[in-house]
Structure 1
Amino acid sequence: MILPSASPITWLLALAAAVAYAMPALAARRLGQTAARNALLVAWVLHATVLVWGLWGEAPQFGFAPALSMTAWLVLTVYAVERQLFPQMRSRWMLASLGAAAVVLALLFPGQPLQVSASGWLPLHLALGIACYGLFAAAVVHAWLMTRAERHIRQAEDTHSGIPLLTLERLTFRFVTAGFVLLTATLVAGLVFGETLYGRAWRWDHKAVFSVLSWLTFAALLAGRARFGWRGSSAVRVLYAGAALLMLAYVGSRFVLEVILGRAA
């Protein structure tokens, strides 16, 4: 199997972004807070440039790895905004590592060439799906931070080095709620306008099944929180399950098609 290769410009931009991400991830203490923040900002800009070039360059391509790369970039964007509101947030090294891994993965697996679509609404539908991935990924990151903060409290460690636990929990479910709204809109658009968007009617393939299962999981999570007050580790486990199902829906199916089977969707 021969995978489509990225263009030289993409290689140059992606490697520069990966190096910029690696600096705050591996040498944050040596760099200092200001230098590490500046390196992350440069990496974020280069990452965005790679994504734009990959979709609107000379030979636009898309697949499971670019989708993950966009998701990582959106999570970093959320972090940049929240860092202004909560300066005590400390997850730069983890997010920088995530960004570097996503950029390299998209460089190795750039996806399939994009075909000219007959529908002008298809880019909007894809944007909804990617935004949905980004919101749920942000929820997963906040859930991980919430679990870590809860563990610190139980072990009587310093709890003043990050965002308060209740604030993390509130932020987590705000992202879940926003992601659920976008996921609902994406599924409804695919169900009602599938023939216009993709030239075929809705069908129950692997992507549709996993998408609906993830929607049901997130619906149960939100209903359980509203009705029974679900919180803590139980709610986090349901969130992780829903995120895993959603990951299998598009990224998982495209990975099988592109890497294992070696053909376009």
Structure 2
Amino acid sequence: MILTSAPTPSLLLAIAAALAYGVAAACHASASPHPPRMALLLAWLLHGLSIVLELWTTEPRFGFGPALSVTAWLALTVYGIEYHLLPRLQPHWWLALCAALAALLGALFPGQPLQGQHSPWMGAHLALGIASYCLFAIAVVHGWMMQRAEKRMRAGTAAEETGLPLLSLENLTFRFAQAGFVLLTATLLAGLFFGEEVYGRAWSWRHKEVFSVLAWLSFAGLLLARWRHGLRGKKAVRLLNIGALLLLLAYAGSRFVIEVLMR
């Protein structure tokens, strides 16, 4: 854990964001929807500000904590936009608790400094990778909702209690997975052909690269099976989750080992 003698502004903002996320989750069952929504909006703003303060410094850092924090913030942003565009989509307040944990991890474990000799293209490379993280995280959430809707449908639960129809959830799941696959492919190609410009070293088969390629193969197999054989249901969600876990291990997992376990 990397802590200074006095709490940094980004850490204070992250703590405030986590508390606001907790309030939003705790108040979700209140009679009026306004208090939890206002608390969630406040948490989202504080979380975003803590990320900006952490990254826009004279010596920016990045590691597994900021990667998870930015991913959670972006995923919550996408889910919030989707919630307003699709009124039948039900809010899942446990996502706020996940965002609270991610915000704290991002501030408590800011990672290692991004060295000045690295190419300015590193920012674009990291942005592509984090964006793919975000899209696959949203796909996993929709996959979970899809399985939940299927169980309720088989149990005879009323359609209005399941939120979106099962087919709509399935389509959204694969759309997010397809978009994430495109960005992941771009990220891997950038690392393969421009590794020296981005990181100052050529492509090498280290843990991050191995897990990233395994994740890419899992997602490619999922989308190919969907296209050729109409793969759906539990098998599709299981393959999606496997790919997401491999992708999580690729960067966040490897950086966690380096920054925490090996310190």
* TM-score normalised to structure 2 length: 0.95
C-alpha separation between the residues in 2 aligned to 1:31 and 1:65?
35
Q: How does 1:64-75 map to 2 (within 5 A)?
A: 64-75=64-75
Partner of 1:196: 197
Aligned position for 2:2? 3
Higher mean C-alpha deviation, range 221-230 or range 24-33: 24-33
Query: Is the CA contact (8 Å cut-off) linking 2:83 and 2:91 kept in structure 1?
Result: no
Q: Flag the 1:58–1:9 CA change in 2: closer, same or farther, 3 A.
A: farther
Give the partner amino acid of 2:250.
Answer: A
Give the match for residue 115 of structure 2: 115
Distance 2:117 2:134 in 1: 24
Superposition deviation, residue 4 in structure 1: 4.6
Is the 8 Å Cα contact of residues 65 and 106 (structure 1) preserved in structure 2? yes
1:220 counterpart residue number: 221
1:173 aligns with 2:174: yes
Q: CA deviation at 1:19?
A: 1.1
Q: Percent identity?
A: 56
Taking the aligned partners of 2:221 and 2:154, their CA distance within structure 1 comes to 28
Deviation of the 1:88 alpha carbon: 2.3
Cα distance change on mapping 1:7 and 1:62 into 2, 3 Å: farther
Which residue of the partner structure matches residue 152 of structure 1?
Answer: 152
Question: Could you tell me which amino acid in structure 2 is paired with residue 110 of structure 1?
Answer: P
Secondary structure of 1:3's counterpart equals coil
Matches within 5 A, 1:1-265: 3-5=2-4, 7-30=7-30, 32-57=32-57, 59-161=59-161, 162-262=163-263
Contact 1:4 1:110 in 2 (8 A): no
For 1:166-202, what per-residue CA distance to the aligned partner results, in whole angstroms no more than 9, with x for missing partners?
1110000000000000000000010000011111110
Q: Distance in 1 between matches of 2:172 and 2:180?
A: 12
CA displacement at 1:77 relative to structure 2: 0.7
| 1: CA distance, partners of 2:35 / 2:186 | 41
How many Å apart are 1:31 and its aligned residue?
Answer: 6.7
Distance in 2 of aligned mates of 1:98 and 1:75: 11
Structure 2: which amino acid aligns with 1:14? Answer: A
Structure 1: distance between partners of 2:92 and 2:115:
37
Deviation at 1:58, TM superposition (A): 5.1
CA shift, 1:111, in A, is: 1.6
1:163, CA displacement in angstroms? 1.0
Unmatched tracts of structure 1, length 5 or more: none
Q: Deviations over 1:105-126 (max 9, x none)?
A: 2232222223224311110001
Distance 1:157 1:12 in 2: 44
Q: Deviations over 1:135-175 (max 9, x none)?
A: 00010011011111111111112321311111110000000
Once residues 26 and 201 of structure 2 are traced to their aligned partners in structure 1, the CA distance between those partners, rounded to angstroms, is: 47
Using the alignment, how far apart are the partners of 2:32 and 2:91 within structure 1? 15
- Residue 104 of structure 1 aligns to which amino acid in structure 2? L
Displacement after TM superposition at 1:29 (Å): 2.0
Letter matched to residue 201 of structure 1: A
| Paired residue type of 2:234 | S
Matched letter for residue 253 of structure 2: G
Structure 1 range deviating more: 66-75 or 91-100: 91-100
Deviation at 1:209, TM superposition (A): 0.4
**Is residue 153–residue 159 contact of structure 1 (8 Å, CA) maintained in 2?**
yes
CA distance in 2, matches of 1:238, 1:92: 23
How far is the alpha carbon of 1:92 from its aligned partner? 3.4
The residue identity in structure 2 corresponding to 1:165 is L
Amino acid at match of 1:241: I
Give TM-score scaled by structure 1 length.
0.94
Distance, in Å, in 2 between the alignment partners of 1:207 and 1:181 is 18
Question: What is the count of residue pairs matched by the alignment?
Answer: 261
Q: Which amino acid aligns with 2:214?
A: L
Uncovered stretches (5+) of structure 2, i.e. residues with no partner: none
